[in-house]
Chains A and B, each alone.
Chain A
Amino acid sequence: MTLKKYFIRALHRLQKGPGYTYKELLVWYCDNTNTHGPKRIIKEGPKKKLIWFFLTLLFASLVFWQWGILINTYLSYNVTSSLSIGFKTMKFPAVTVCNANPFKYSEVKHLLKELDRLIEAALERILQPTPGNSSENTSPPLDLGLWHQIPLVLIDEHDKDNPVILDIFESNQTALVNETALVNETVAGNETAAGNQTTAGNQTAAPPVPANTTSEEKKYKLAVKLCSHQGSDNCTYRNFTSAAQAVTEWYILQSTSILSRVPLQERIRMGYQAEDMILACLYGAEPCNYKNFTQIYHPDHGNCYIFNWGMDEEALNSSNPGAEFGLKLILDISQQDYIPYLSSAAGARLMLHQQKSFPFLKDQGIYAMAGTETSIGVLVDELERMGYPYSDCTMNGSDVPVKNLYSQYNTSYSIQACLRSCFQNHMVEICGCGHYMFPLPEGVNYCNNEDNPGWAYCYSSLRSSIRHRQICIDSCKETCNDTQYKMTISMADWPSEASEDWIFHILSYERDMSTNVTLDRNGIIKLNIYFQEYNYRTISESAATTIVWLLSSLGGQFGFWMGGSVLCLIEFGEIIIDSLWITIINVISWCRGLKQKRVQARYPDAPPTVSELVEAHTNLGFQHEDAGALPRDEALPPEPGTPPPNYDSLRVQPLDVLGPDSDAE
């Protein structure tokens, strides 16, 4: 029974609302709401009422304004960074060691023999441009076919406006090959860099140079002639200010072409073997040897060996700072066996990187000099970022539109891998073959002079193309977790003069099983890699604004200005529903009134008395709610009601009691 009663009450409450007119409703709301302002409006005297009215309005608008700001702040997805520094047991970084020189010269000599003879002869001609020297006559004839694939030329700039191009092996010194005016123009116009008449973009690729040139210029310059295919006129001269640079560049292009035809197994065999290179290894107190290193073939540096890569085995932890608990290595780079023209710097190349990542030695690698002991203190500098929408980074590279060619090494995504893959993809697309320095996509071969005669031209124009670089930069994303190994590098001479003899003796004996000393100061390197006293510095991001933050800030604002809460909002919503209800009732009664007018016009009848209607509405049993509750409009009864104006005038009465109080005195 009570349930039914409640139900009926609730229903009536829903239908009826706390008032019958908007004014009533508003007064009721102001009186009963939990927000702080409105109550004051009705409870105070007339002047204060006005003040409170404006105050409430002001506070309400303030609340909405500040809410707007807060929601905006939330949607901007700010992050806060927290920094932590200290020492903890951490995974020891993967250490990649390579020789700066990719192959043993003794092993590749048969491949590069012709090339070396060519460059020696060319240098002879360049450096001693006197026809009297005829040392090369005795040697077997040079392979000029190889030379003409990518020739070196000498540019005579005695006449600034009209430089003369001299072919080095072309019918001796006197034969000046005056090239077409087109070529002369480009060389003269842009002396510093690759003058390229085919692509306009190349012009901008060269560093811009102030126009004024000093009077004292060098008279001869060396340039590499690159043609789109052999014998064509579409050629560029890659101009070098230094002959040394030109020779190195030329040699790299030529040797790349030759070596790219050698199968991988053979190339690995020609490189430095682990047992020859890694002479001693000590990790913490535990001995290790070359077998603890993973071999990887790196196109720049030949065979590289990675310690603690974590591919097959668990990564090693280091729980103590200091050199005693780090990795100690003794390497031999056998400098005597370097390829003379390929790498002019001698030393070991090493890099610290994360487990399961590919070592990009050209970017992040450092040198270690022969005959020295290099100590490297490591601080792991980590940056942990939140992904989208907080910052534009990628967690594992799966959302990057570039095919990662380094995934064949089973390594994780990195931006360097992405950029290189991007370049190689462009190379394959444009030149039709892959560059030797980067991994190959499926079904593509490395470029070489035989199959792709114009590859060097294609590669060199692609390499200096700003547009292609920008495409790659735009399409690659950095990883969210960025780990850098900050190194404090110090060096000392090693071995000392006093200990030199016995150290070389032991190491030679262990490696070659002979009592002859096969090592020397020019090849031996000692490395100490260890964690510093503080081994990590982690900057981690966390969302500055969470939904909890937003809610508490919204609540704070609402509470601060008006003492409101979510319930107040619901109250307000209720009032709106009520007012809608009133509107509906009004509209219905208005419609009814119209209809009735028409009916009345036809059947004039006596309207029901007030008492009748009051009785009809008061017996519903909810007067307790408010004393002023009056019968609702004639929504249910089928009989025609009185015209609304009458009711209004009746009902105004109780409000009028308030009226004089609120209006004026």
Chain B
Amino acid sequence: GAMAPGKKITARIKRTLPVRGPQAPTLSELMRWYCLNTNTHGCRRIVVSRGRLRRFIWILLTLSAVGLILWQCAELLMNYYSASVSVTVQFQKLPFPAVTICNINPYKYSSMKDYLSELDKETKKALETFYGFSEGKSKVRRSVDEWNSTGSDFFKQIPLLKFEDFSKTVTDFRSGQKRKIEGSVFHKDSSIVNSGDSNDIIGFQLCDANNSSECALYTFSSGVNAIQEWYKLHYMNIMAQIPLETKEKLSYSADDLLLTCFFDGLSCDKRHFTRFHHPLHGNCYTFNSGENGTILSTSTGGSEYGLQVVLYIDEADYNPFLVTSTGAKIIVHDQNEYPFIEDIGTEIETAAATSIGMHFTRSRKLSKPYSDCTETGADIPVENLYNKSYSLQICLHSCFQKAMVDSCGCAQYAQPLPAGAEYCNYKKNPNWMYCYYRLHEKFVKEQLGCQQICKDACSFKEWALTTSIAQWPSTVSEDWMLRVLSWDKGQKINKKLNKTDLANLMVFYKDLNERFISENPANTLVILLSNFGGQLGLWMSCSVVCVIEIVEVFFIDSLSIVMRRQWQKAKKWWNDRKRDRSGKASDLERQGHDNPVCVDEDLPTFNTALRLPLPQDNPLPRTPPPNYSTLRLETAFTEQLPDTLEAGQH
């Protein structure tokens, strides 16, 4: 009673949505059915062909076609994430880049006297002891004792050492004593190691303050490098203790640096320049920094319409140990970019007109998954210490600074301060120099992981510079030019400028063509699919419909056939075990095989029409093929034609 409604429902479902079996009762029949009815071209040939050889060839061809399709489609898929490059050129009004100009000498030597006099005195003494150099002949050579009394803190911190040879015997500069040195030796110039030259090598020793036995020795082949490097270390120590406001005052003002300015055919002055304090280069001035919201642009190329400035380089006020060259450094960059003057600046000569023609190129790469670059730098786990947009350089510097703060406890002077950190100086961090050198060495050897973390930016602007130099002022115009420029500078004629104190700089667009190099995806999904379609169609005249067919036949239908077989086998085995009901087992088997419901229902359709002659066809392949082949050789076509036609009609 309770079962009845359920049965009814199942019966109804069975009636309305009958569960049909696969297209054919057995696997081989299914395959045959598939081959005859499929939309792909190869399979049909296999079934229709007469003769083993022919059939074998068709099987081979079909399989190789399948193989080719798979191979080609795999290739297509693998090449999906490739990019094509397009270059567009546009002639237009171009935004003028920011031009940052620095004097090579960071601070006026005269005003730095208070801070550097001690250091300079020590340096001069060192030069005298090592090389017998003395500035003035009148200078009396002082004894070693005298210097110790003046308190040579600098040498206590970082002793300058002179090596006799490679026997690790050194002369200590301070005591003049020879002693053996412990610890590892780092050669800044490694080539000297193999030269076998027994010339004196100079270097300095950095020791871990907490553990004095751990020392690193830095040697240089030339005293010039050693003294400069040594001086720079102390210099940074001193500068790190001076507040920024004071440093800005110590450096050059805009009036000091810029004598004349001319842009786009119009006069400009220091108000078009923004001060930017660079730790190593002092006050730099950025033209067109965009800080007041407007970015100047040029609508005419050529040297007359660019930026023309005359710089005053006060060579007499240079620091003799810190910088050894004269001139200015400039860098052309985007307004959002940080000017890495120390890394990529162009040097400007004095007493010359430097003409810099620019050519603007904008590039854009595709980010993931096409290439490994970053759009904004937001996905890089390194905090950007610079107040500018991301670049690889910024990332590397920030990464190093972070590592420096983490391991040394203070920040390196040349880079901006992270929050909560302060610059290293040996009053507070006596150990920092050793730490810094160790860390820097690791950084260079890519052991800090900075190079791995930092990625390059996806889009960047580049100004290609063509630099050429002319003599300026010319011999005949020198006289009036210097007079007028002196008037410009001080409006006094008592001090005429020297031409070696002046540098003329012209920065202009060579042409207003902007090249834009961009990467585009070479493939879209549409193109990929049509390529697939092309491959499938070319080799087998196949389409997605065929793929669905294949899924249907090979997975659903064959699986169900196999499952049914297995089920029947299991049932048979069960029945065989019981023995007494052997007859019924065979009944069941037959029932599954014939699937009479299916046949009945499909009678009026083409499917059944196709299926009906199948049992009659079956005996045909069973006859020995060689006989048929030889017989039918001459009449193969006439014989075969109606056969294929017949198949075609189904």
A residues contacting B by CB (< 8 A) are 31, 36-37, 39-40, 42-45, 47, 55, 59, 66, 69-70, 73, 78-81, 83, 100-101, 105, 120, 123, 126-128, 192-194, 205-210, 212-214, 216, 218-220, 238-245, 247, 335-336, 338-341, 343-347, 360, 362-364, 366-371, 374, 383, 385, 391, 393, 415-416, 419, 463-464, 466, 469-470, 473, 476-478, 482, 484, 486-487, 489, 491, 522, 539, 541, 544, 552-565, 657-658, 660-661, 664-665
Q: Is B640 an interface position by the 8 A CB rule?
A: no
A31: chain B residues within 8 A (beta carbon): 606
- Chain B contacts for A363, CB-based, 8 A: 301-303, 357, 510-511
> Closest residue to A552 on the B side, CB-wise?
B534
Partner of A415, one of B88, B91, B529: B91
A470 to chain B: which residues have CB within 8 Å? Answer: 93, 299
Q: A105-B476, A473-B299 are in contact. Are A370 and B86 (CB under 8 A)?
A: no
CB of B526 within 8 A of CB of A69, answer yes
Chain A residue nearest in CB terms to B292: A210
B267 touches A (CB below 8 Å): yes
Segment at the interface with A among B133-141, B399-407, B543-551: B543-551
- Cβ-defined contact, A244 with B310, below 8 A: yes
Q: A193-B266, A552-B534, A556-B532 are in contact. Are A244 and B545 (CB under 8 A)?
A: no
Name 19 A/B residue pairs within 8 A (Cβ), A-sorted: A37-B545, A43-B606, A45-B601, A69-B524, A70-B530, A80-B86, A192-B271, A243-B488, A245-B262, A335-B476, A345-B353, A345-B471, A366-B466, A369-B469, A522-B471, A552-B530, A561-B543, A658-B604, A665-B16
A-B pairs, top 5 by smallest CB distance, nearest first, are A560-B533, A556-B530, A242-B260, A563-B543, A346-B474
Across the interface, name the chain B residue whose C-beta is closest to A36.
B545
Once the chains bind, are B85 and A242 in contact (CB under 8 Å)? Answer: no
Q: Is B426 an interface residue (CB 8 A)?
A: no
- Give A37 to B544 CA distance when docked, in angstroms: 9
Least distance between A112 CB and chain B CB atoms (Å): 13
* Chain A positions within 8 Å of B271 at CB level: 192, 209-210, 212-213
CA–CA, A339 and B513, complex, Å: 34
Contact at A385–B89, with CB atoms within 8 Å?
yes
CA distance A67 to B268 in the complex (A): 58
Question: Is the Cβ of B543 less than 8 Å from the Cβ of A128?
Answer: no
Q: Are B477 and A343 in contact (CB under 8 A)?
A: yes
Q: Which residues of A contact B473 (CB under 8 A)?
A: 344-346
How many residues from B make CB contacts under 8 Å with A?
102
Shortest Cβ distance from B457 into chain A, in angstroms? Answer: 22
B600-634 vs A, Cβ < 8 Å mask (1 yes, 0 no): 01101111000000000000000000000000000
Given contacts A364-B510, A560-B543, contact A244 B266 (CB under 8 A): no
Given A40-B545, A209-B271, answer yes or no on A491-B469 (Cβ-Cβ < 8 Å): yes
Are B91 and A478 neighbours in the complex by a CB distance under 8 Å?
Answer: yes
Q: Is the C-beta of B98 less than 8 angstroms from some C-beta in chain A? A: no
> Do the beta carbons of A207 and B272 come within 8 Å of each other?
yes
Give min CB distance, A55 to chain B, whole Å. Answer: 7
User: A466 near B487 (CB under 8 angstroms)?
Assistant: no
Within 8 A of A (CB), among B506-546: 510-513, 515, 520, 524, 526-527, 529-534, 536-537, 541-546
Contacts of B86 in A (CB 8 A): 78-81
Is there contact, CB below 8 Å, between B269 and A560? no
State the CA gap A369–B472 with chains docked (Å): 9
Q: Are B266 and A206 in contact (CB under 8 A)?
A: yes
Do B88 and A391 have beta carbons less than 8 Å apart? yes
Does B315 have its Cβ within 8 Å of any Cβ on chain A?
no
> B residues near A, CB below 8 A?
15-18, 20, 37, 39, 84-93, 255, 259-272, 292, 294, 296, 299-304, 308, 310, 352-353, 355, 357, 359, 464, 466-477, 479-481, 483-485, 487-488, 491, 493, 504, 510-513, 515, 520, 524, 526-527, 529-534, 536-537, 541-546, 548, 601-602, 604-607
Q: Which chain A residue shows the least CB distance to B298?
A: A469
C-alpha spacing A486/B17, complex, angstroms: 78
Cα distance A213–B544 when bound, in Å? 74
Instruction: Return chain A residues, CB-CB under 8 Å to B471.
Output: 335, 345-347, 369-371, 522
Report Cα–Cα, A192/B536, bound state, in Å.
72
B268 and A241 within 8 A (CB) = yes
Cβ 8 A contact of A664, one of B16, B260, B269, B468: B16
Contacts of A539 in B (CB 8 A): 87
A-B Cβ contacts below 8 A, count:
314
Additional 9 contacts, C-beta under 8 A, given A210-B292, A242-B259: A59-B545, A66-B526, A80-B85, A105-B476, A193-B266, A207-B263, A415-B511, A553-B530, A561-B543
B300 touches A419 (CB 8 A): yes
**B529 engages A66 (CB within 8 Å):** yes
- In the bound complex, CA of A346 to CA of B512 (Å): 27
Q: How far is the CB of B181 from chain A (nearest CB, A)?
A: 43
Taken together as a complex, chains A and B put the C-alpha atoms of A345 and B521 apart, in Å, by: 50
Nearest A-chain residue to B356, judged by Cβ: A366
Distance in Å: Cβ of B609 to nearest Cβ of chain A: 10
C-alpha spacing A73/B521, complex, angstroms: 13
* Residues of chain B with a CB closer than 8 A to A554's CB: 530
A553–B533 alpha-carbon span in the complex (Å)? 8
Inter-chain contact A341/B477, CB cutoff 8 Å: yes
| Contact of B477 with A560 in the complex, beta carbons under 8 Å | no
Tell me how far the C-beta of A265 lies from the nearest C-beta in chain B, rounded to whole angstroms.
Answer: 26
A387 to nearest B CB, angstroms?
13
Question: Of A66, A241, A486, which is within 8 A of B260 by CB?
Answer: A241
User: Pick the contact of A338 from B303, B476, B513, B529 — CB < 8 Å?
Assistant: B476
- Alpha-carbon separation in the docked complex, A438 to B158 (Å): 66
Cβ-defined contact, B268 with A207, below 8 A: yes
CB distance from B462 to the nearest CB of A (A): 13
How many whole Å from A556's CB to the nearest CB in chain B? 3
CA distance A218 to B258 in the complex (A): 13
Instruction: Name B17's contact: one of A47, A338, A464 (CB within 8 Å).
Output: A47
Is the beta-carbon distance between A560 and B532 smaller than 8 angstroms?
yes
Chain A residues within an 8 Å CB radius of B480: 120, 123, 247, 340-341
Instruction: Select which of A47, A100, A245, A347 is within 8 A of B267 by beta carbon.
Output: A245
Report B610 CB to chain A, min CB distance, Å: 9
> B504: which A residues are within 8 A, CB to CB?
344-345
Query: Closest residue to A393 on the B side, CB-wise?
Result: B89
How far apart sit A553 and B261, CA to CA, in the bound complex (Å)? 59
CB of B605 within 8 A of CB of A563, answer no
Q: How far is the CB of A39 from chain B (nearest CB, A)?
A: 8
The answer to whether A242 and B477 touch across the interface, beta carbons within 8 angstroms, is: no
Q: Tell me whether A560 and B310 are in contact (CB under 8 A).
A: no
Contacts of A562 on B, CB cut-off 8 Å? 543-545
Q: Are A559 and B534 in contact, CB atoms less than 8 angstroms apart?
A: yes
In the complex, the answer to whether B534 meets A555 with C-beta atoms within 8 Å is: yes
Closest Cβ of chain B to A136, distance in Å, is: 16
Distance A539 CA – B479 CA, assembled complex (angstroms): 49
Which of A44, A473, A482, A657 makes the CB contact (< 8 A) with B92?
A: A473
Contact residue among B262, B470, B485 (Cβ-Cβ distance under 8 Å from A347):
B470
The contact of A45 among B20, B474, B530, B541, by CB within 8 Å, is: B20
Contacts known (A194-B266, A419-B300); A559 close to B493, Cβ less than 8 A:
no
Report whether A208 and B260 are in contact in the complex, using a CB–CB cutoff of 8 Å: no
- Note all chain B residues with C-beta closer than 8 A to A345: 353, 470-474, 504
Q: Which of B90, B268, B527, B605 makes the CB contact (< 8 A) with A192?
A: B268
Q: How far is the CA of A242 from the CA of B39 in the complex (A)?
A: 86
The interface residues of chain B lying within 8 Å CB-to-CB of A563 are 39, 537, 541-543, 545-546
Whether A464 touches B484, Cβ cut-off 8 Å, given contacts A476-B91, A558-B533, A560-B537, is: no
Closest Cβ–Cβ distance, residue B477 to chain A (whole Å):
5
Q: Are A560 and B530 in contact (CB under 8 A)?
A: yes
Nearest-neighbour CB distance to chain A for B306, whole angstroms, equals 10
**A218 touching B491, Cβ below 8 Å:** yes
By a CB distance below 8 angstroms, the chain A residues around B92 are: 473
**Min CB–CB distance B394 → chain A (angstroms):** 27
User: Is there contact, CB below 8 Å, between A416 and B301?
Assistant: yes
List, in ascending order, chain B residues with CB within 8 A of A194's CB.
Answer: 266
Are A556's CB and B472's CB within 8 A? Answer: no
> How far, in Å, is A527 (CB) from chain B's closest CB?
12
